[in-house]
Amino acid sequence: MALSGSEMGLRYHNRVAVVTGGTKGIGEAIVRLFVKNGANVIFCSKEENAGDLEKELLESGPGTGTYVSCDVTKEDEIRRLIDVTMKTHGRVDCLINNAGWHPPEQRIDDTHAEEFLDLLKLNLIGYFLTAKYALPHLRKTQGNIINISSLVGIIGQKHAIPYVATKGAVTAMTKAMAVDESQYNVRVNSISPGNIWTPLWDELSSHSANPEAMILGGKDAQLLGRMGTAEECAKAALYLAAEGTFCTGIDLLLTGGAELNYANKNQQETRSSIYH
C-alpha cells in the first residue's frame, strides 16, 4: 500500500519499538519522538500506570504508545513485556534499553555489596535480559538494539564507583553483543550521554549541599557551556534506529565536548604538605 505524503516524512513508520524506563526523562523523550515518527511503541516503567502519557500519545499520533508496567530487575516481568509486544504488534524492530538509576554520592567505604548488586541488576542485568528476550524477534526483522550508557563509563566519575562500573559494562556488553548478532544483521549500539538535564539530574542536585553550584558545574563541564536535553538524546536514538544502518558496535558520545581538553582535576585538598 502506497504511503501518503505525510507518511512518507515519517522516519520509523509502522516499526515497533520497545523502550524501557519510558515514562520520564530521556526515555519519555524517546517514546514521544518515535511515536511522532510513526512508530508503534511499547514503553514501560515499574510505576503502576502512565495513563496520562498513554492518552496523550494516542491523541497526538501518528504512531501509537502503549504502556506496560515492568520492573526490569525481574526476569518474569521482562519476559511478559516482550510477550505483550508480540501479542499487540506481532513484531519487534527496535529495543531501547534505558531504565536505570544514578544513586547519590557513593564512597567505596560506605557502600555495601548488596547496594552494588541491586544497581547491577537494574543498570546492567536488566539490559542483558531485555535483549535476551527481544533478540529472537529482532533477528526476524533484522532490527536493532540501542543501550543508553553514560560518558562516565569511559572517563570515570567522583564518588560513583558502582554506577560507573555498571555503565562501563553496558558499553562493553554492547560491543560484544554487536559481534554475536551481526550474523543475523541485528545492529547493537549504545549512546553515552554526558550531562543531560532530566528529573534524575534535578533529584541528584537537590541532595547536594549547594544545588545551584552543582547545576552550574554541570553546565560548565561541557565545551558548549550547557547541559544537553532529553530531546537531543531522543534524536540520536532515532538516527541509530532509522538511518544509522551501517552502525553497529558504536558508542555515540552525546556530551557537548565534556571529554575534551585539559582541565583542573586535582582532587587533593592541599598540596603544600607533600612538599614541606
Residue 200 · residue 101 · CB < 8 Å: yes
The x, y and z cell numbers of residue 164, run together, are: 560507573
- Does the annotation mark 163 as catalytic? yes
The partner residues of 229 in beta bridges, in order of sequence, read 197
Instruction: Identify the residue whose cell numbers are 553497529.
Output: 248
CB 68 within 8 A of CB 17: no
Torsion of CA 148, 13, 91, 71, to 10 degrees: 40
Query: Which residue among 163, 184, 239, 275 is the active-site one?
Result: 163
d(CA 63, CA 13): 7
Give the span between the Cα atoms of 180 and 249, in whole angstroms. Answer: 10
Task: State how far Cα 62 lies from the chain centre.
Answer: 23
Burial of 28 (0-12, 13-18, 19+ CB in 10 A): buried
CB 23 within 8 A of CB 47: yes
Instruction: Give yes or no for a contact between 259 and 201, defined as CB atoms under 8 angstroms apart.
Output: no
How far, CA to CA in Å, does 223 sit from each of 89, 193, 203, 233?
A: 43, 14, 24, 17
* β strands within 179-269, DSSP E: 187-193, 196-197, 228-229, 251-254
Q: Which positions are catalytic?
A: 163
